[in-house]
Structure 1
């Protein structure tokens, strides 16, 4: 999408990736308001579409088919995506607090975080049952339950029950039954030891639907040999047991809770007017009745003039009026009233490929209704999934259309105002790094005393923003800059920052600078150092870099040129950040791929450096822009040795292989291919796209080290224990081949 070059003066903030927000963001992205920075905060980078969830549980769909990829969509739409959980808001200061980020400021706020079954009112329910929401928690539980059944953990009778008589309780249980029976039948195992139960407080299931629908589902439940317990109002939940208000006991091994839902507690704590169930009360414009600069939609909202059930159909239909009213509010125009429909179409599945249509007093059923429902659901999801093509393992390179092939990759004027800079600096953590003059008493330059007998080790690194999360980018840039210091076995001492911020209003500038420097300071504080100075300016795009100072004893230094015959080569982190973020900038990478890659980029090399020094590593470098092969060449250069590299042992980030196969390369990738001349047998592997991983440039990559063979086992164990789970041996140093070359095996 075309980028808005107008300096941002307003911040539009969305909390939650619910259905209404997904639609609203799609509409706003198509007609983005000038001068507005848009941010979405969600605890899920891929959010589930509720209409297809039973189909996923039943095995009719794959994970990606039923999840909206918020990370990928936001990259496409030019919206900042923040993966985090909101824990509070301050409507007076207009700030939002998150679990793992500094506060965000906003001018206009919209909330669509959904709701979850209220387990707090029933003793023991939270400890002894699983709610149908949050969906991620339910799906993790479902994967675990399937594995336990496959492993034979339940050789005797297994009783599974849902508490609740609404559509979600019935659909989820029917879907689970369908999948487990099919799964066991495929293994030629019996399933008659698994018993299913629906526990319903009212005397009839599906109380919000007409009698014909209720009768049909009663028939289905009877035919599927499911036990229906009506009029069973749960008063207490004990391990493996439900107790009703009348004292009746029901033994269940697995309890899924699907009763009436409630909202999160933080909106009410913030002073927003909420209903008794914790949902935000909104007017006909979808605004909070108590705070007009806050909108709320979906299950988290209760319209004061229109009482409607918590159903996905209402959330989807609120997307368009929400987008229009947000646009109007930003431009000081008159808002439009939204009146939800009285009757609505429900399409409820029965686990297998059969469904029931219900609207008011009418109903239809059959396999054709399921196909109709499937068509509607898939059409809805295509609005988000067909923005750009994703890499596909079944396609050849020439079948992939690469978006924006000439885009320059991220990764590897005027000063910011004095007032903004000093407000941010006052919020940074206090550090004690023995600088004679630094931020503790600012001057024209920092002054550092180098202890007698120590060497000053210094490195500098700077690059463009590669992820639209300033706090995470600050951490990644700091980790990347520290890499050279750690690779040389030095102890970091201090840092100076170089920041270029895009033109924007003062409030947005302050927030961005604060998030960047707080993110970097988090990494620096973990290493016992801090900022001693730096330079800030405004420019066309965000750039961040650091000059890092370190100290080392001469005998302590690790260099690239220390290889010895028989050494084993170890990498501490997986490869693939170059291709993944090249794909992400084209909106051709799954959000979860990027989320996983970020977790590795946030992993500091600090502990790895100490482990290598303690285990007598002979040589070390960090893997950055020149890729694995480029840095291997630097280690080999002039040594006279050669390296045998086991291609299949290279640790690789999820999705990187597919992106490389599709030809989605970083802009530095072609230049790194010049190192292929040092591979003696590349022709033997010409059909393997895995060779492209050798040229992939890395940001905040791991360490590449040569260690004595007798130290490998204890070193790998120590690295794994320290959190470097992907650390592995990838090759060895030889002296009986072509000097200064690499042989693939």
Structure 2
């Protein structure tokens, strides 16, 4: 989509991907404020829609159908997405602390991180139960429970129960019963050994719903043989049972905790005014009562003048008023009061394709209600899944750039001296001896090369491919180090080449800090340091490094050196080119990109050491030219050929669907110039796996030739070192013309 040409001067951060934020961000994507950098920080790349979660548990929906793909949506909307967990905020300095990132600075902050059942007040609850939230641990537990039931003995009774009698507890229990019965019946197995329980406190089930709804569900629970334990206050949980305040015991093999929700602890620790349940107290503008630059919505927020249940229907309705007030706050305009509805339509499923609806004192039920609910839920999710390109700007209008003559070129485009100094002071000290570097800043770095060593040097630079500066810094560093590791050299030092988009000093400083701290994380793990570089401002972010390495002449690996019979070993899976090309078009699933990033963040350091010590005959890193292009370089002029085993190629999740859809990297067509080296490509022309051969890689793995008698041991050592997909993908053959054949 069209990038905002106005330099960013303010930073709006959304914490959490809850329903209110999802709606607000969807609406903001259609009319983004000019000159504002927008960041979403969430610990999940795909966030669940609560209304469809019971349907997922019951097997009516797939995972993707009930999850909003935040990563994909943010790419579409031009919003920076950070996958991380928030651990604190500092309202005084206006910063956000995350588990795996440097601090983020903000001008305006919105919080929608949800709530979870409180497991801390009852002894044993944390150790022996699973909460209905967060959803990911619940779904992981549910997969495990299904496996245990299906692999278990039908003669062994299993008691499954929830503590809590609200809508979420009832829906989850009915959905689990439905799915387990369906799975067992499909294999013609008995279901009578499964026993289901719902444990309520002093109140009846479904508090907050009218008597008609409660009576309908009491009949359903009775028909489904789900035992309801009322007036049971849990005092303690032990392995396999819950104990009441009066000493009564209910035997439960599986316990799901669905009591009243609480907020995270870090808002109160930061000094925000919070309720006893840890939720942020907000006024009628969804604005923190204690910190006006902070807004909150969804389950994490308590509207002091309009208390409402923690329900998705209220969170969704808060999205639009939250956005209006955030936009007003950014430009200093008057905020608008929001009064949530008193009555609302409630649609609760019963596990099977049947649901109960209610609004105020009215209630009705049936299969048609489930179909109605399904239609509403699917329509809501299509707002995010059916992403289309935003309309182009109105013809004839001019893009406005504030102070167009103020941004200089040449040396005038450098990042300011004070900004640079502040960032450099936050980098780790150099671990090795440098004559002159950042420890003694001068016009150039000075390195003393030890006697008998060869200086190995490489440079790489490219545009930003992921809107997470800290991760991008790591990926760029890994990518630049690849050439050094491919040659069996030991990295020594690095210099950075950075170009940052025009923005306010505060935003530029944060971005530069995240980029260089990310790179330094990688460099520190390799025991090298950043010793210099160059920064500038430009139209887009680019990052690169010149890497210096040292090597003994006799240990130097090159692309040449292949020997007949060698096994070709690859250390990482393929697919980054097509995945990120698809991501730029908002066509890649968020989890595909998240997993691809993990591969890109893995250093080739240990792989290089293992291959060098094993006496590899030749080695290269797989980058822009793709697997076939780099293999061709190894074969060129050798008089040897190679056989590739297509079925052995390790592939990143999602890469093949993207290739089948024709979503290629822009470099892919140029890499096809190497297809002439394959002497039997026509036999596999209908196999999309062949397209992997031309897919350019970023921070890709190593491709090495190892003698056949060493190959198995080398692969085992690589896998033990964390390169879990390392494998042999072919062999070198004694044939001329540098030809490659596919098998």
- Shorter-chain TM range is over 0.9
SS of corresponding position for 1:448: coil
- Once the 2 structures are TM-superposed, how far is the Cα of residue 358 of structure 1 from its aligned partner? 1.3
Q: Is the 8 A contact 1:13 1:108 kept in 2?
A: yes
Gaps of 5+ in 2: 390-408
Which digits, 9 at most, give the CA deviation of each residue in 1:550-592, with x for residues without a partner? 0000001011101011100010000000000000011110000
Matched, 1:100 2:100: yes
| CA deviation after TM superposition for structure 1 residue 739, in Å | 2.8
2:603 paired residue number: 604
Does the 8 Å contact 2:154/2:190 carry over to 1?
A: no
CA distance in 1, matches of 2:155, 2:672: 56
C-alpha separation in 2, matches of 1:337 and 1:35:
26
**More displaced stretch, 149-158 vs 627-636:** 149-158
Residue 199 of structure 2 corresponds to residue 202 of structure 1: no
Contact preservation (8 Å) 2:154, 2:191: no
- Give distance in 1, aligned partners of 2:619 and 2:177: 54
Check if 1:554 corresponds to 2:553.
yes
TM-score (norm 2): 0.96
1:660 matched to 2:664: no
Corresponding position of 1:338: 338
Q: How far 1:716 sits from its partner (Å)?
A: 1.0
Secondary structure at the aligned position of 1:723 is classed as: coil
The residue that corresponds to 1:374 in the other structure is 374
- Cα distance in 2 between the residues matched to 1:694 and 1:547: 28
| Structure 2 residue aligned with 1:42 | 42
Residues in 1 aligned to 2:613 and 2:459: alpha-carbon distance in whole angstroms: 26
Shift of 1:515: 0.1
Query: Does the aligned pair in 2 maintain the 1:461–1:480 contact within 8 Å?
Result: yes
Q: 1:155 to 1:631 in 2, by over 3 A?
A: farther
Q: Secondary structure at the match of 2:216?
A: helix
Q: Equivalent residue for 1:578?
A: 577
Query: Would the alpha carbon gap of residues 155 and 657 (structure 1) be closer, same or farther in structure 2, given more than 3 Å must change?
Result: farther
In the alignment, what sits opposite 2:266? 266
Deviations 1:495-552 (A, max 9, x none): 0000000000000000000000000000000000010100000000000000000000
Q: CA deviation at 1:344?
A: 1.0
Separation of aligned partners in 2, 1:317 and 1:743:
60
Q: TM-score, normalising length from structure 1?
A: 0.96
Match of 1:594 in 2: 593
RMSD: 0.8
User: In structure 1, what is the equivalent of residue 360 of structure 2?
Assistant: 360
- Aligned to 1:437, what secondary structure does the other structure show? coil
Residue 173, structure 1, aligned to residue 170, structure 2: no
Matches within 5 A, 1:376-525: 376-388=376-388, 413=409, 414-525=413-524
Separation in 2, partners of 1:366, 1:114 = 31
Equivalent pair of 2:460/2:545 in contact (CA under 8 Å): yes
Q: Tell me if structure 2 keeps the 8 A contact 1:16–1:41.
A: yes
Separation of aligned partners in 1, 2:279 and 2:204: 27
Structure 2 residue aligned with 1:742? 740
Judge conservation of contact 1:579–1:664 (CA < 8 Å) in 2: yes
CA contact (8 A) 1:148 1:154 kept: no
Give, in angstroms, the shift of residue 738 of structure 1.
4.5
TM-superposed deviation, 1:642: 0.6
Q: How does 1:41-440 map to 2 (within 5 A)?
A: 41-152=41-152, 155-388=155-388, 413=409, 414-440=413-439
**Counterparts of 2:472 and 2:153, CA distance in 1:** 45
Measured after TM superposition, the shift of residue 203 of structure 1 is: 4.2
Superposition pairs of residues 7-18 of structure 1, within 5 angstroms = 7-18=7-18
- Secondary structure in 1 matching 2:476: helix
Matches within 5 A, 1:699-710: 699-710=698-709
Q: Take 2:447 and 2:274, find their aligned partners in 1: how far apart are those partners?
A: 56
Asked if the contact 2:154/2:189 (under 8 Å) is kept, the reply is no
Secondary structure of the equivalent of 2:435? strand
Cα distance, 1:431 vs. partner?
1.6
Q: Distance in 1 between matches of 2:83 and 2:431?
A: 32
Native 8 Å contact 1:388 1:588 kept in 2: no
Q: Do 2:14 and 2:21's aligned partners in 1 also have CA atoms closer than 8 Å?
A: yes
Q: 1:621 Cα deviation (Å)?
A: 0.2
Aligned to 2:396: none
Distance 1:231 1:207 in 2: 13
| Partners of 1:165 and 1:202 within 8 A in 2 | no
Secondary structure in 1 aligned to 2:497?
strand
Size of the aligned set, in residue pairs, is 721
SS at match of 2:414: coil
Deviation at 1:314, TM superposition (A): 0.3
Hey, what's the Cα distance between the residues in 2 that align with 1:186 and 1:507? 61
Q: CA-to-partner distance for each residue in 1:348-399, whole Å, 9 max, x for gaps?
A: 000000000011111010000000000100000000000049xxxxxxxxxx
CA distance in 1, matches of 2:517, 2:275: 37
Matched, 1:646 2:645: yes
Structure 2 Cα separation of the partners of residues 697 and 203 of structure 1? 61
Using the alignment, how far apart are the partners of 1:35 and 1:309 within structure 2?
37
What displacement does 1:616 show? 1.2
1:689 Cα deviation from its structure 2 partner: 1.0
- For residues 708-736 of structure 1, give each alpha carbon's deviation from its aligned partner in whole angstroms, at most 9, with x where no partner exists: 1111121111111111001011000110x
Q: Distance in 2 between matches of 1:676 and 1:451?
A: 43
Q: Which runs of 5+ in 1 are unaligned?
A: 390-412
